[in-house]
Chains A and B, each alone.
Chain A
């Protein structure tokens, strides 16, 4: 754990992702889906990336793994333990040092038994048995097909695929939706344990409640960018402890905090104007918010925020 203090396991600087769209007339257009993200994850830490669907969270995971579609253009820098993640490095690290925990069993080959799938390219039968042991999966489970798994079993199998690799960075893409609260909580506990063992976990979720309980920091995603990254404590306190109007609105929208809906909708990536993406829905919106070309992340009270008015 301690030896990673110098370089974070994952360090993302100014990451942007655009899609190049071709149409038949050979016209070309670009669609910016992720803009100017700065985010780092240290060993032993769970960083929750939270935001509504369509905010580009999963694309961030795919960008880190280097499995975006061919027409994606990535700019900025991503470093893994200090090494720049070039496509070649990513290809080398995928499945070994960086592991993805997918959303559901649909990410498993339906016609292949679970055991070999957990082993993947690099794992062995012994490792698989160990991992199964750890997650209290019966040895016979290896002989089952994905459609025969129960919800809780499926979840543990999916986590197994990441744990078997002994990866330092685990990216969990929406690991909890559709699960009953108990299983969801057990799943989150597994991630907490993994982090406590010294792994870095990126937890992509729209379930902020669970993130409150298990994450160390929360990065709020909005329209393809981070609007606030702050320690989980600030999110638990809520209100003025938070820095961005969207984070506060999110907080207020939680059932236990009044269930207040946020008016309006998230802008579609292709329709992003300059300035603050949240401007149209923000009660503090000023001319500065709409005219500024870009709004930089700034550190305020020990957290980062992308807002002109943050204090």
Chain B
């Protein structure tokens, strides 16, 4: 009797883990597929498909135009997908560059002595001393407007948090007993770095990088919305929403609601991937 109870308990814990793992992996895969589709669509979409068609102006969402059309008769669904894709690529590029800066800064701070450390921490404070958006405006202004200014701005302003995480991780591993032991046993610095430190820092880096994407994308959208960066003919989501402001009074809600909601969806997908990856790498945090 209690024998069988005992087995069900064992079985159910097993299924529980299995379920969580599968569900996490499925969530990651699903989000990844959608994001890849968006990224690819942006490249493959023929500009002609969202070209103005003046006989179809100001249409509310329908089956032929799921997101409606704008005042020039452009299909908003295709424009939105194209815009998401633009934001996605800029976000990916900027976040990746930013994360590389973060790794260099974080590792340098943790390994190159106290002076370097306090200098880099000071640099972090400095970057965080001006509001993000203002600094972004300043950088993209100084670099000349256009796409380059935007992604450089995003790249240069987003590394501090990840740099801190990596610095803390490297410091923790470096001072851990097993690394101290390995050093005593005569392992070379290089070997310690590759065998002991890398395995701890790389997962942190990947999760940090993925969680950087949503930030980068949101900031890209914001700065574009404000009129910096991309040219009005490039359908970035920020530009689409900025244009939609003029048609709010005309009751064309779909120009605002749907592209914005799509952007929100995309950010949530990245968040999902990041959080699920974190769960996979650190199962104890999954209890919550």
- Asked if A and B form a direct contact in the complex, defined as CB atoms under 8 angstroms apart, the reply is yes
Residues of A within 8 A of B3 (CB): 273-274
Count, chain B residues at interface, CB 8 A: 15
Which B residues touch A270, using CB under 8 A? 6, 9-10, 13
Q: Give how many A-B residue pairs fall within 8 Å (CB-CB).
A: 39
> With A272-B2, A274-B2, A274-B3 given, is the CB distance from A30 to B16 under 8 Å?
no
Beta-carbon nearest neighbor of B16 in chain A: A23
Query: Within 8 Å of chain B (Cβ to Cβ): is A293?
Result: yes
What chain B residues lie within 8 Å of A21 (beta carbons)? 12
Say yes or no: is A25 at the interface (Cβ < 8 Å to chain B).
yes
Interface contact B16-A24, CB-CB below 8 Å: yes
Nearest residue (CB) in A for B8 is: A29
A273/B9 in contact, CB under 8 A: no
A27 at the interface (CB under 8 A from B): yes
Q: How many A residues touch B, CB cutoff 8 Å?
A: 14
Pair A23/B6 contact, Cβ less than 8 Å: no
Name A156-195 residues within 8 Å CB distance of B. Answer: none
In the bound complex, do residue A29 and residue B1 qualify as a contact, i.e. CB atoms below 8 Å apart? no
With A30-B9, A31-B9 already in contact, the answer to whether A274 and B1 are too (CB < 8 A) is yes
**Bound Cα distance A293, B23 (Å):** 39
- Residue interface bits B1-30, CB-to-A below 8 A is 1, else 0: 111011011101101100110010000000
Instruction: With CB as the reference atom, state the residue of chain B lying closest to A275.
Output: B2
In the assembled complex, the Cα of A109 lies from the Cα of B97 at a distance in Å of 45
The one of A27, A31, A271, A274 in contact with B15, judged by C-beta atoms closer than 8 angstroms, is A27
A9-37 contacts to B, CB under 8 A, are 21, 23-25, 27, 29-31
Complex Cα gap A30–B10 (Å):
11
User: Which B residues are CB-close (under 8 A) to A24?
Assistant: 16, 19-20, 23
Report A222-254 CB contacts with B as 1/0, cut-off 8 Å: 000000000000000000000000000000000
Interface contact A272-B6, CB-CB below 8 Å: yes
- Return chain B residues, CB-CB under 8 Å to A23: 12-13, 15-16, 19
| CA of A30 to CA of B20, assembled, Å | 19
For B18, the closest partner residue in chain A by CB is: A25
- Bound-state Cα–Cα, A27 to B16, Å: 8
Chain B residues with CB below 8 A from A293, complex form: 1-2
The CA of A60 and the CA of B112, in the complex, are separated in Å by 53
B9-A29 in contact (CB<8A): yes
Q: Could you tell me the distance in whole angstroms from the C-beta of A254 to the nearest C-beta in chain B?
A: 32
CB closest residue in chain B, given A269 = B9
Partner of B5, one of A25, A27, A30: A30
A290 to B8, CA, bound (A): 20
- Give B residues with C-beta under 8 Å from A: 1-3, 5-6, 8-10, 12-13, 15-16, 19-20, 23
- In the complex, besides A24-B20, A273-B3, A274-B2, 15 extra interface pairs with C-beta distance below 8 angstroms are A23-B12, A23-B15, A23-B16, A23-B19, A25-B15, A25-B16, A25-B19, A30-B9, A270-B6, A270-B13, A271-B10, A272-B6, A273-B2, A273-B6, A293-B2
Query: Can you name 9 A-B residue pairings with CB atoms under 8 Å?
Result: A24-B16, A24-B19, A27-B15, A29-B8, A29-B13, A270-B13, A273-B2, A273-B3, A274-B3
